[in-house]
Amino acid sequence: MRKSYCLLVLLFIEVAIAEPQWYNSSDGRQYLIESAAKYNWFRANHECSRRNLQLVEIQSESKNQALVKLLKSIFGTSTSLWLGGNDQFNSEISTNRPFYWSASGKGMTYSYWYPGEPNNERNQENCVQTFAYSPDFQWNDVTCTNQYGFICEDQHAHNKYYSTLREKRQHVMKAIKKFSESMQHEKEKVLEMVHRTRNLIAKNNKEVEEFLAALESKSSHNGGSDEAENKQEMKKVPTETNEHINELYEKLENSTPKIANRISQEQFEVERKIEDILGNIHF
């Protein structure tokens, strides 16, 4: 039992050690590097892809110099590692055939070939590696079924897409914020209007009551029954009008917060849906 347990622990340690490691280059880029020589080019490409990465693509001298500096710090001397380049598995014998980067499909505009390479030996060398016999990790074309380690990096297309998406998100959230501030301002304006209307109604009621009181006082001194009757009719009209105005006011006062709250809720739902969409996008 103890022997089996020890074997399991050793196996776990071996697997942990065998995992490819992340490294940072001097230009700020990150690379996942597998040193174990047990992957053909196709499997190496798969190992990067399943981690949402890509076999490294080198399109400039500055990027290559920073990567070579990193590889020297890790391995000391050159070793064979798969890169993302290939000749699209061209069957031509020519050594001057074009090479491309598998992730983007772009042709090589920069190269770092070992002298005499690519030579397409035996017309079977379609993939690109760092050459173990080169002093500075120069490139070599080689048979794709050979087994080496590999270098992965972040996927360029996904990074660009994510950057664009993030920029659009910022624009959307900015527009929502502006809309929210505008609605809050409109809400405050409506509530202020309601408040002013209520004050005007109260002032109007007071003036009407004072007028009717004065009219009633004058009528009582004159003792005229017709005038008293007219006074009652006059009192009835503004009272009914005020009742309608108050009723409208109450409806407006009650509906305004409901409208504002509904708009706020709709705005919140839009924001939440945007956040959910963005949160569910994986790269």
Give yes or no for residue 119 having a pLDDT over 60.
yes
| Residue 281: CA count within 13 A, CB half-sphere | 13
Distances (CA, A) of 189 to 194, 261, 266: 9, 15, 20
For residue 270, is it within any domain?
A: yes
Is 245 found in the same domain as 264?
Answer: yes
Determine the Cα–Cα distance for residues 257 and 269; give it in Å rounded to an integer. Answer: 18
Is 259 found in the same domain as 190?
Answer: yes
* The last residue of a domain, from among 154, 173, 202: 154
Tokens of 205: 């009621």
Mean of pLDDT over the chain: 79
Is 145 found in the same domain as 36?
Answer: yes
For residue 223, is it within any domain?
A: no
Q: Based on the structure, what is the number of domains in the chain?
A: 2
Q: Out of 85-94, 142-151, 245-254, which region has the weakest mean confidence (pLDDT)?
A: 245-254
Is 189 found in the same domain as 83?
Answer: no
Percent of the chain with pLDDT over 90: 44
Chain center to CA of 2:
51
For residue 126, is it within any domain?
A: yes
For residue 39, is it within any domain?
A: yes
CATH number, domain containing residue 42: 3.10.100.10
Is 187 found in the same domain as 140?
Answer: no
* The last residue of a domain, from among 154, 180, 205: 154
pLDDT (mean) for 74-87: 97
Higher pLDDT, 248 or 56: 56
For residue 164, is it within any domain?
A: yes
Is 195 found in the same domain as 120?
Answer: no
Determine the Cα–Cα distance for residues 224 and 96; give it in Å rounded to an integer. Answer: 122
Q: 192 falls in which pLDDT band (50, 70, 90)?
A: confident
Is 150 found in the same domain as 176?
Answer: no
DSSP state of 123: G
Is 113 found in the same domain as 57?
Answer: yes
Determine the Cα–Cα distance for residues 34 and 45; give it in Å rounded to an integer. Answer: 12
- Phi/psi for 265 (5° steps) reads -65, -40
* The last residue of a domain, from among 112, 139, 154: 154
Higher pLDDT, 185 or 279: 185
Percent of the chain with pLDDT over 70: 59
Distances (CA, A) of 183 to 175, 202, 261, 266: 12, 29, 10, 12
Is 127 found in the same domain as 29?
Answer: yes
Tokens of 191: 């509530």
For residue 16, is it within any domain?
A: no
Structural domain of 175 = 160-218+233-280
Is 272 found in the same domain as 214?
Answer: yes
pLDDT digits (tens, 9 = 90+) for 215-266: 667 666 665 555 555 555 555 555 655 666 666 666 666 666 666 677 677 7
Question: What is the model's pTM?
Answer: 0.55
For residue 11, is it within any domain?
A: no
Is 185 found in the same domain as 93?
Answer: no
What residue type is assigned to position 106 of the chain? K
For residue 62, is it within any domain?
A: yes
Give yes or no for residue 173 having a pLDDT over 70.
no
Give residue 282's pLDDT: 47
Q: Locate all alpha helices (DSSP H) within the chain, ordered by sequence.
A: 2-18, 41-49, 61-75, 156-222, 225-279
Is 91 found in the same domain as 47?
Answer: yes
